Structure 1
C-alpha cells in the first residue's frame, strides 16, 4: 500500500509541476513585472536583505567590466529540455524580453568560458562564470516526510543508485556484504556485484545513516537525506548547485568519509557510540535545508541572481541592489555562514 501511495503522490506532484509551468508560460509577460524598489523596501523592512544578498553573491560571482555580451534573447531559450526551460523561464519572465542570456542545461561539471546560468558547477577553483539557479528542481529538490525518530531506526547505513562513476563502484564493491550496511546498485551493466531491489526514500528512512554519492554531477538524494532524521554520510562534494554543497561543513552537516569509503564502518561505529553527536548532525542538516523552504525568499533570491547577471553583463543600469552586488572587491572571498 505504501508503494502505491508514494506513486500516487509522485504522479500528482508531476502533474502539478507541469501544469503550473505551462499555465505560467501562457500568461502575458506584463503580469510579471519586477518592481525593484518595492522588493528592496520589503527586504529592508523584514531585515532579510543581508542574508539574501549573501546568497545572491555566492551563486553569482560576476564583476562588471570586460564581460562578453550574452547571445540568446530570453524569450528564445531552448524549450526542448522542458524542466530546465520551465525553471529558468519562471524567473526570466520578470525581465524585458530583449535581454540576452547564456545558459547551459544538464549536468555541468566544467566552468564555461562566458558567464552562463546553469544548475551545477565545480566547487573548487575560479567558478565565477558559472551562475547558479534552481534548475531541474522537480528532480533535485524533492523532500519527503520522515516521521521516524533517529533512535527508532535500524543502526545501519543504506544506499541505492545507478553505477555511473568510480565512487559508487567503490562503495558497492567494498560494502555490499557488510553487516554495517545495506548498500546496493540497480544497474544492469555492473556485473561485479549483483543488483538489489530499488528502495524509495521513505524505505531508506528506516535506517539511521544514508549514504550520499555524487553521480554525473551532484548527489540527487542529498537534499532529502539532509531533510530527514537520518545522518548523511558522504565524501566531500566536488560539485554544487543551488543547495550550496560547497558550504556544507564536514562532521557538522554530514559525516565525511574517504572517497574509497574505506572508513565507512569505522564512522558508523563512532556514531553508534555517540548518538548525541549523530542527532546534532541531523539538526544542523535540517537547519541548512530550512534556508530553501521559504518560497518568497527563494523567488527573490532567484530574481536578484538574474538582476545581477544582467547588470554585470552591461544590459541593465544600476539598481537599488547594485551596491550590495558589487561593493566587495574581487579579492574578497565569497563567504556564507550557515548553521
Structure 2
C-alpha cells in the first residue's frame, strides 16, 4: 500500500526537482548577474507589467531603506552543502539570489514562519498582520505547496461528504476538528501522523491526493502555518472548506474572498455541516465558487511571469536593504 501511495500520490516528484536544481546550481552565476538588468528592463515593457508590480508590492511591502545588522550573511556564503537540512529552501532561494552580486547582505528564515522578523527577511510564510512588512514573501518549498492536479470528476459526480487527512499531533486546531467530526456520518476524517498522544480511533491510512477528489468538500486546515493543500484543492472540482486564514504564502491567502473562492466556516467548526448542506442543496452556487477558485489559481500558472515576479521581489529587497 505504501508503494502504491508513493507511485500515485499526486504530489510533485522530488527527484525531478533535485535534478533541475543541481543542474541550475552548476551554471556560473556571473552569466546571470550580467543579464539581470536587461531582463528586468524588458519585463517593464510587458502589457501585464502593472499586474506584476501589484504582486511585487504585495509580497515586498518595504517602502523605506532599512539597514540590516552587520552580522547578516552575504550571498557569497549562500552555498549548498551535503549537510543542508532544508535543501528545498536553499534551492528555491538560490534560484533568484544567484542573479545578484555576492557582496550583498540578506536575511533568510527557512521553514514555517508565523512571526514577523525584527529585520526584513525572505520567508515562505507570514502572519496576516497589518504590520508584516519585514516578512518578504518568496515562493519557497513550492515542490510541496504548488501542486496542480487534473480533476476529471465533475462536482455533481462526487460524494456528498467532507474529507480530511492530516497530521494533528502538535496542531490543536486540527485536533479539535478531528475530535468533533471523527464519527460524523458526513465526514471521512483521520490522523495520518505517528504522534503518540493521538487516540487510536483517530488514525487512518494515508490516501492519495486523487482519492480526495472523490469528495465534494475538502478541509483545508492550517497546520504550522498555512493549509498546504489549498492550492490543489482550489484547482480541482471540489471546494475548499476552512476558517478564515491567519497566515499567507506566495498564494496570497490574504486576498481570498470567503464564500467566493472557498467556503468559510467558524473557528470552532460549529457551522460546518450547515454550510456544507447548503451548497449540496444549492449546487449552482457551489459551481460558482469552483469557477472563482479556478480563476484565482490561474494567475499562478504562468511560470515565466512567476519567475519575473520573484526576481523583482528580490531586486526590491536588495535595493531597500543594501
TM-score, normalised by the number of residues in structure 1: 0.87
Q: In 2 relative to 1, CA 199–98 (structure 1 residues): closer, same or farther, beyond 3 Å?
A: same
TM superposition shift of 1:11: 8.9
8 Å CA contact 1:180, 1:268 repeated in 2? no
* Counterparts of 1:270 and 1:208, CA distance in 2: 13
TM superposition shift of 1:259: 1.4
* Counterparts of 2:139 and 2:205, CA distance in 1: 31
Counterpart of 2:180 in structure 1 is 174
* Counterparts of 1:280 and 1:55, CA distance in 2: 25
In the alignment, structure 1 segments of 5+ residues that lack a partner are 316-339
Spell out, residue by residue over 1:152-195, the C-alpha distance to the aligned partner (whole angstroms, 9 max, x if none): 11111101001131211121111111121111112342117431
Counterpart of 2:166 in structure 1 is 161
- The within-5 A match list for 1:274-293 is 274-293=282-301
TM superposition shift of 1:96: 1.2
Counterpart of 2:189 in structure 1 is 183
8 Å CA contact 1:172, 1:193 repeated in 2? no
* Counterparts of 1:38 and 1:161, CA distance in 2: 42
User: How many aligned positions are there?
Assistant: 313
Spell out, residue by residue over 1:221-252, the C-alpha distance to the aligned partner (whole angstroms, 9 max, x if none): 11111111101100111011000011111111
Counterpart of 1:51 in structure 2 is 51
Question: SS of the residue aligned with 2:108?
Answer: coil
Counterpart of 1:40 in structure 2 is 41
* Counterparts of 2:314 and 2:113, CA distance in 1: 19
Counterpart of 1:273 in structure 2 is 281
8 Å CA contact 1:165, 1:215 repeated in 2? yes
Counterpart of 1:244 in structure 2 is 252
Counterpart of 1:26 in structure 2 is 26
TM superposition shift of 1:9: 7.8
* Counterparts of 2:301 and 2:27, CA distance in 1: 26
The answer as to 2:100 corresponding to 1:95 is yes
The answer as to 2:149 corresponding to 1:144 is yes
Counterpart of 1:261 in structure 2 is 269
TM superposition shift of 1:74: 1.3
